[in-house]
Amino acid sequence: MNTKSKPTIDEQVATLMRGAEFGDEQIKEHMQEELRQRLIESEKTGRPLRVYAGFDPTATYLTLGHTVSMRKLRQFQELGHEVTFLIGTFTGLIGDPSDKTSARQQQTWEQVMENARTYTEQAFKILDPAKTIVRENGTWLSKLTFADVIGLASHFTVQQFLARENFALRHQNGDPIWLHEFFYALMQGYDAVAMETDVQVGGTEQLFNLLAGRKLQEAFGQRPQVCVTMPILVGTDGTLRMSKSTGNHVGITDTPEDKYGKTMSIPDEAMRNWFELVTRWSPAQINELLEQVERGEVHPMEAKKRLAWEIVSAFDGDEAADRAAAHFERVHQQRKLPQDMPTFALTGSANVVDIIYDAGLAPSKSQARRLVQQGAVRLDDERVDGIEVEIESEGVLQVGKRRFLQLVKSEG
């Protein structure tokens, strides 16, 4: 029998606000107090809070950066609240300018829907499927009329948008700021209205958009949502925000070996950011390990191995983490070929670009060509020096640091 009592309101607030950052202490205190009042009312009425976070399908996979908000959603779930995983099928057409110093390339409807196809199953690696509502904001945003959009825009000034750091920088440099980029905050703000949300979770770069949701909810006679913004996870470069567009990301659907290897490539100074945002470790455990690193009792590489193992374990299980660790040691530390690698049957000669694409080592032939041109492809440890190279003999093709392919002659 489980005799564990429900956490007190103070304990719930501490859990749900842990790690949250707003860049403004007054906003943080205000949001914390509003959350406390919502939780008190929720207990009195028995109505769970409506909580959501939105994710635009800008690629076919989610990254570790996305899981920061999802882990916070999971905490709300575990406290009995209603969580919505919102796929930005409409906002994805606009492109979020929140952390950009130039306009995003706009996607087509077909691209957005193809990218969104597997988002739900990826999200369920963090969220409880039985307790998660999945929605698409195209359901309501696509039905807004031009008059509706004008009405939403009437609640904001151009000065409010130009005060945003990224827009201010572009305006100062004389770089273009496109009108459709202003609409993004309006559309995300309207999501809160359409779902009548109590709490929205997002990254710190999203605070303007979350506050826009509060403003629009008030305009529509609703109680404004509580905003909970989480720090940004830096990418594998240790500097820029983890992003699919900059290529410094770790994807949820990456192989265990890739997750492990990419994690091992991060700079030492990025470890705390990763430990705090994408592991299941407690603050006390994190502090203890990193203090041991600072004192020289634990080597930074050993700490990073524990981080990499934990990340793979969280998504793929302990056995996969053990295999990924052994793979890393064999291939990257002992400089040996992996024990297991996929095979590709050669029927006569084949172009190296075609092999890379056909074997699934690159998502497109253009990407395969770029890999060859960048010197990232080797055959039997010799660099492949051109996209026109034809391969007809057996050997090992290496693409990047972590992908290997055993080329064999077809018996047919």
Residue type present at position 406: Q
pLDDT computed for residue 101 by the predictor: 46
Q: Is the pLDDT of residue 348 over 80?
A: no
Spacing of C-alpha 365 from chain mean position: 25
CATH code of the domain in which 117 resides: 3.40.50.620
Residue 8: CA count within 13 A, CB half-sphere: 2
pLDDT computed for residue 95 by the predictor: 65
**In this structure, is residue 244 part of a structural domain?**
no
CATH code of the domain in which 351 resides: 3.10.290.10
Residues 121 and 190 placed together within one structural domain of the fold: yes
Residues 151 and 75 placed together within one structural domain of the fold: yes
pLDDT computed for residue 381 by the predictor: 72
Residues 328 and 366 placed together within one structural domain of the fold: no
Q: Residue 350's domain spans which residues?
A: 343-409
Pick from 215, 230, 245: which residue ends a domain? 230
pLDDT computed for residue 97 by the predictor: 58
61: pLDDT confidence band, cut at 50, 70 and 90? confident
Q: Is the pLDDT of residue 320 over 70?
A: yes
pLDDT in tens, 181-240: 888 889 999 999 999 999 999 999 889 899 999 999 999 999 999 999 999 899 998 888
- Average pLDDT over every residue of 49-77: 91
- Average pLDDT over every residue of 282-289: 92
pLDDT in tens, 121-150: 889 999 999 999 999 999 999 999 999 999
CATH code of the domain in which 274 resides: 1.10.240.10
Residue type present at position 387: I
310: pLDDT confidence band, cut at 50, 70 and 90? very high
- Find the range with the poorest average confidence among 41-45, 152-156, 322-326, 386-390: 386-390
Q: Is the pLDDT of residue 3 over 60?
A: no
- Average pLDDT over every residue of 14-25: 91
pLDDT computed for residue 100 by the predictor: 47
**In this structure, is residue 392 part of a structural domain?**
yes
Residues 77 and 216 placed together within one structural domain of the fold: yes
User: What's the domain count of the chain?
Assistant: 3
**In this structure, is residue 283 part of a structural domain?**
yes
pLDDT computed for residue 98 by the predictor: 53
- Find the range with the poorest average confidence among 20-29, 92-101, 184-193, 362-371: 92-101
- Average pLDDT over every residue of 351-372: 83
Q: Is the pLDDT of residue 99 over 50?
A: no
pLDDT computed for residue 180 by the predictor: 80
Average pLDDT, the chain: 86
Question: Is 202 exposed, middle or buried, given 0-12, 13-18 or 19+ CB atoms closer than 10 A?
Answer: buried
pLDDT computed for residue 45 by the predictor: 96
* CA distance linking residue 170 with residue 93, whole number of Å: 22
* CA distance linking residue 385 with residue 388, whole number of Å: 9
Cβ atoms of 312 and 256 within 8 Å: the answer is yes
pLDDT computed for residue 256 by the predictor: 92
Q: Is the pLDDT of residue 372 over 90?
A: no
Cβ atoms of 51 and 197 within 8 Å: the answer is yes
**In this structure, is residue 36 part of a structural domain?**
yes
The beta strand positions in 21-125, using DSSP E, are: 50-55, 82-87
Residues 287 and 358 placed together within one structural domain of the fold: no
Residues 226 and 267 placed together within one structural domain of the fold: no
Using the structure block, give the residue that is written with the tokens 């192989």.
255
Residues 164 and 74 placed together within one structural domain of the fold: yes
**In this structure, is residue 356 part of a structural domain?**
yes
pLDDT computed for residue 96 by the predictor: 59
Q: Is the pLDDT of residue 285 over 50?
A: yes
Q: Is the pLDDT of residue 151 over 70?
A: yes
Q: Is the pLDDT of residue 48 over 60?
A: yes
Burial annotation 234-270 (CB, 10 A radius, 16+ → b, else e)? bbbebeebbbbeeebbbbbebbbbbbbbbbbbbeeeb
Pick from 309, 333, 357: which residue ends a domain? 333
**In this structure, is residue 249 part of a structural domain?**
no
pLDDT computed for residue 223 by the predictor: 97
Pick from 300, 333, 366: which residue ends a domain? 333
Q: How many angstroms separate the Cα of 383 from the Cα of each of 23, 261, 370, 378, 400?
A: 47, 21, 14, 4, 11
pLDDT computed for residue 102 by the predictor: 45
Q: Is the pLDDT of residue 407 over 80?
A: no
Residues 207 and 282 placed together within one structural domain of the fold: no
* CA distance linking residue 278 with residue 125, whole number of Å: 13
Residues 164 and 300 placed together within one structural domain of the fold: no
pLDDT computed for residue 93 by the predictor: 79
Residues 224 and 280 placed together within one structural domain of the fold: no
pLDDT computed for residue 145 by the predictor: 96
- Find the range with the poorest average confidence among 32-41, 181-190, 312-321: 181-190
Within 221-376, where are the H helices? Answer: 256-264, 271-278, 283-294, 300-316, 318-328, 352-358, 365-373
**In this structure, is residue 2 part of a structural domain?**
no
Residues 54 and 129 placed together within one structural domain of the fold: yes
Residue 372: CA count within 13 A, CB half-sphere: 23
**In this structure, is residue 266 part of a structural domain?**
yes
Residues 129 and 212 placed together within one structural domain of the fold: yes
Which pTM does this prediction carry? 0.75
Share of the chain above pLDDT 90, in %: 50
49: pLDDT confidence band, cut at 50, 70 and 90? very high
- Average pLDDT over every residue of 313-321: 94
Q: Is the pLDDT of residue 405 over 70?
A: yes
pLDDT computed for residue 104 by the predictor: 52
